[in-house]
A and B are shown apart, each in its own frame.
Chain A
Amino acid sequence: MIELTCSQVRDASAEFALGILPAEERAAVAAHLLRCPSCRQEVEGMLAVGARLLDLVPGTEPPLGFDRRALARVHGSRAAARAGSRRRPSRLIAAIAAAAAAAALFLSIGWIAHGDHDPSEPAHLTAEFHQNGQAIGEVDAYGAHPLWVSMSVHGATTSGWVTCELTGRYGTTRLGSFELVHGGGAWSAPDPKGLDGVTGARLVDGQGRVIATAVFE
């Protein structure tokens, strides 16, 4: 890596603070700042100016529904983080996963919480994905109109596009597809029908095969 002098760092401090310095120079400046409090103070002053420049940009109303889509993305990440930190599946989940494994289904979904639900009331349900008895992800369903469904998978042995469907008394609702890359992926979408009549969920692979299923009590 290039060794920079204090003079060189101060020359580059404005570009560094604005985030527009080429990668190699940026790394060299950062390395210098780690050992030079004086230059660090200089750059912090520039960073404050750079942040203020963004006040010049007028606010722009995003497309309709942005707020819910953004929140769904946050919830998807939150679900993934929770799934990643979880150690053991619940007994119910383990039982569902075992049954699914016995039926030669290599991926299963076990719902932690479900029951008769007033469709007019906001829901917040959480579900775990299991594969061969191991927790590999999670599903969140929250809201009311529409119901938002977010899911994330980490560490599955399957890759490629899968489709998520909710099944129930009124047929099957195809929510959308997401890609598992190296066994992982995250996705969210609204279900305009809500939870009314929903009795299960399933994942379908690109060839139309049901690779995971769950039936709610």
Chain B
Amino acid sequence: MTDDALLAGLANGGPDVGLAFVRRFQRQVFGVALAVVGDPTLAEDVAQQTFERAWRRAGSFDASRGSVRTWLTTIAHNLAIDAIRSRKPMPLDPSDLVRLLGTAPDEPEQRSLRTEETNQLRAAIRGLPPDQARAIVMAGVYGLTAQEVAHAEGIPLGTAKTRIRSAMAKLRVALQAKAVTHD
């Protein structure tokens, strides 16, 4: 069953379809939640909220704007950021950044188009100046504000904003160029 059909089943179908939907995406959803909040219990709550919100908003999903997976992980990311927003910035483990920017696929079964796209993204990030790469991962994955990035890096706020903005602009250009190459 396609991702889109499973999503429709979550909204309208029985427990079996809902369970299949959750099982298909739970690793990615929980992984994003855990990466941001850093606490398994809170991550589970965020991940559960993600599926609850997906059910509520299934009707608004637009396949032309992205995959179900991307839609779900974006929901999870926003909820996770909300969950930690009132907390102090969590200490970043440098090994996490290295792992995210690494070259090895994280799962054997991901030798697919998605892996190819992810590798393109990793390559694009590795092409950034290291300070911009760190800033974009801190902000875009871990949900740190520019102020928090500035604090973590020991740099002025304006510099942090510039690094985030520059990195995003470069990634956009790099990913668009890759997309054109593949078209």
Contacts and interface: CB of A to CB of B under 8 A. Distances in A.
B155 interface: no
A68 B48 CA distance: 10
A20 B27 contact: no
B172 A74 contact: no
A69 B45 CA distance: 10
B15 A143 contact: yes
A78 interface: yes
A14 B139 CA distance: 10
B70 interface: yes
Contacts of B114: 55
A70 B23 CA distance: 10
B134 to A, nearest CB: 13
B175 to A, nearest CB: 6
Which among A11, A19, A77 has the highest number of chain B CB atoms within 10 Å?
A19
Contacts of B168: 13-14, 17-18, 46, 49-50
Nearest to A142: B15
A56 B77 contact: no
Contacts of B175: 49, 52
B78 A56 contact: no
Given A15-B146, A15-B164, A58-B31, A73 B52 contact: yes
User: Which applies to chain A's interface (DSSP): helix, strand, loop or mixed?
Assistant: helix
Contacts of B28: 57, 59
Contacts, number: 158
Contact of A60 (B31, B56, B169): B31
Given A52-B175, A55-B117, A143-B15, A18 B48 contact: no
Interface in A20-62: 20-22, 45-46, 48-62
User: Which applies to chain B's interface (DSSP): helix, strand, loop or mixed?
Assistant: helix
Interface residues of B, number: 61
Nearest to A122: B15
Contact of B23 (A49, A54, A67): A67
A70 B107 contact: no
A143 B144 CA distance: 41
B78 A19 contact: yes
20 contacts: A13-B165, A15-B165, A19-B77, A20-B81, A20-B146, A50-B74, A54-B32, A54-B77, A54-B140, A55-B121, A56-B125, A56-B141, A59-B27, A60-B34, A61-B26, A62-B47, A63-B40, A73-B49, A73-B51, A124-B14
Please give me the 7 A-B residue pairs with the lowest Cβ-Cβ distance, nearest first. A59-B27, A58-B106, A14-B168, A62-B30, A53-B140, A60-B31, A54-B73
Given A49-B168, A71-B15, A73-B52, 10 more contacts: A14-B169, A15-B161, A46-B168, A52-B117, A59-B30, A63-B40, A74-B10, A74-B18, A75-B18, A77-B55
